[in-house]
Amino acid sequence: MFPLLKENIRIAFDSIKSQILRTTLTVLIIAIGITALVGILSAVSALENTISSDFASMGSNTFNLQRYEFTTHTRGGGEREKINPIITYREVREFKETYSFPKTQTSISFTGTSNAEVKYESEKTDPEVSVLGVNEFFLTNSGLDLEEGREFNYFDIQNNNNVAILGADFAEGLFKNISPIGKTISVRGVKFTVIGILESKGSTFGNNQDLRVLIPVELARSIFTQPNINYNISVRVGDKEMMEGAQSEAIITFRNIRRLNPVEENNFGIEKSDDLINRIFTITGYLNLAAWIISIITIFGSSIALMNIMLVSVSERTREIGIRKALGAKNNTIATQFFMETLIIGQIGGIVGIILGIIIGMAVSAAAGFEFVTPWKAILWATGITILVAILAGSYPANKAAKQDPIESLHYE
């Protein structure tokens, strides 16, 4: 049995080599469909992995009060969309002083600028650094960890100490082979002592999380005085079972701060960190669906092309089939030979498609700053699909070849 199978495989490869151009075109058609599937699924997996790593550290026990919900719905009937007021410093300060739900801690923050220049001695960065004003709970509530140094403490914030925590990129960029801890930097002419370096977070949607400076919020307010600054509030709940109660209390507190009547809608948004992840994953689900639709259409076309090339091959090799049958070859031996050719062509196309898909996924991930992961699930699906395509496309030609009459085949020209 095994020598016969080995002989069929050898004949299949010889036949493929003899029709190299036609085989190559068929392989490319199959590879395009697999490339679309693996490439898109790889990029989507990298996006999901990056988002998960960015938000998972925050946990499911953190929620934010912000100007808008994550998704803003436009009202129908020509009515203009409601514009929520910014969250002011007075409001966040009053919220922090008023909100007293058990086992919670509140962080407040704002972005002073996204194009600051940071100096250290004679060295300076490009003007693309984000400077954030934060309080002592910002790092914990945001799920940020330190690579080196210490966090802000209560006295740093209350006394407006000139201290700063830097993103991971500063350790290699601004400071050359020396520890930044204890060094003095300058931001808009104000000097700060570096007390900590954040662990690397990478870049998400083009926003470099490692190129930022955190300073005490009151000190930041004295440096960045532009009007209409929007502040952020983040609340971390120590006991996840108390999340619903903590959110309800936060909504009531902020409604009172804004003096909203009971019949008025909230003019602010509230978001849980895991709600945001779920909504983004819903979007990536549509991308996955699009990948499947594109690849299925392409693979359907490739299966037709593969069936066509095998039918042509059967017609061209009718005399060969007659000779083999006259020499004693059974129907299942002839069918196995042609089926083996179909399977080999399908698998070559699948392998080429998987390789190209992974390369595309890696390229997209690198360009977008996503954390690439090997798409094993997509690879397994692609392998299974190519086998299925080979079975569907090869069954009819193989059956047709097996059923040919040997006498008529020998007379075929």
DSSP assignment string, 248-312: HHHHHHHHHHTT--TTSPPSSEEEEHHHHHHHHHHHHHHHHHHHHHHHHHHHHHHHHHHHHHHHH
The pLDDT value recorded for residue 95 is: 95
Residues sharing a CB contact under 8 Å with residue 73, sequence separation 6 or more, in sequence order: none
Whole-number Å distance between alpha carbons of 373 and 365: 9
Tens digit of each residue's pLDDT, the chain (413 residues): 556 667 667 766 777 777 777 778 778 878 887 888 788 888 877 777 776 666 555 556 888 898 887 655 444 444 446 788 999 999 999 999 999 899 899 999 999 998 999 998 888 888 889 999 999 999 988 888 899 999 999 999 999 999 999 988 887 778 877 889 999 999 998 999 999 999 887 655 556 678 899 999 999 999 998 888 999 999 999 887 888 899 999 999 999 999 999 888 999 988 876 666 666 677 777 777 877 787 777 777 777 877 887 777 777 777 777 777 677 777 777 777 777 778 888 888 888 888 988 888 888 877 776 777 777 887 888 888 888 888 878 787 777 777 776 666 565 55
Whole-number Å distance between alpha carbons of 252 and 231: 19
The pLDDT value recorded for residue 73 is: 46
Distances (CA, A) of 411 to 15, 282, 404: 21, 62, 12
State the Rg of the chain over Cα. Answer: 32
Name the residue ranges covered by the structural domains of the chain: 2-54+278-411, 85-267
Whole-number Å distance between alpha carbons of 251 and 276: 18
- Closest Cα to residue 219, out of 238, 200, 192? 192
The pLDDT value recorded for residue 261 is: 92
The pLDDT value recorded for residue 78 is: 46
Rounded to two decimals, the pTM is 0.62
The pLDDT value recorded for residue 53 is: 62
Crossing angle (nearest 10°) for helices 89-98 and 243-257: 130
Q: How many CB atoms are located within 10 Å of the residue 21 CB?
A: 7
The pLDDT value recorded for residue 408 is: 63
Whole-number Å distance between alpha carbons of 233 and 238: 16
Left if phi > 0, otherwise alpha if psi is -120 to 50, otherwise beta: which for 121? left
Helix/strand/coil for 340:
helix
Helix/strand/coil for 213:
strand
The pLDDT value recorded for residue 396 is: 77
The pLDDT value recorded for residue 282 is: 76
The pLDDT value recorded for residue 58 is: 54
Residues sharing a CB contact under 8 Å with residue 315, sequence separation 6 or more, in sequence order: none
Residue matched to tokens 């108390």: 242
- H-helix or E-strand containing 83? none
Alpha helices by DSSP H, listed for 317-375, are 318-326, 331-368
